Amino acid sequence: MAANRTFSIIKPDATRRNLTGAITAMLEEAGLRVVASKRIRMSREQAEGFYAVHKDRPFFADLVAFMISGPVVVQVLEGENAVKRNRDIMGATNPENADEGTIRKRFAESIEANSVHGSDSDENAAAEIAYFFKPEEIVG
Please name the amino acid found at residue 102: T
CA 38 to chain centre: 12
Interface residue with ligand RTP among 114, 125, 128, 132 (CB under 6 A) is 114
Task: Choose which of 22, 35, 111, 126 interacts with ligand RTP (CB under 6 A).
Answer: 111
For residue 35, CA distances in Å to 25, 72, 87, 114, 122 come to: 14, 17, 18, 23, 16
Residue 120 in the binding site for ligand RTP (CB under 6 A): yes
55 labelled binding-site residue:
no
Binding residues among 58-97 for ligand RTP as defined by CB under 6 A: 59, 63, 93
**4: helix, strand or coil:** helix
Q: Is 11 annotated as a binding residue?
A: yes
Q: What is the binding site for ligand RTP (CB under 6 A)? A: 59, 63, 93, 111-112, 114, 117-118, 120
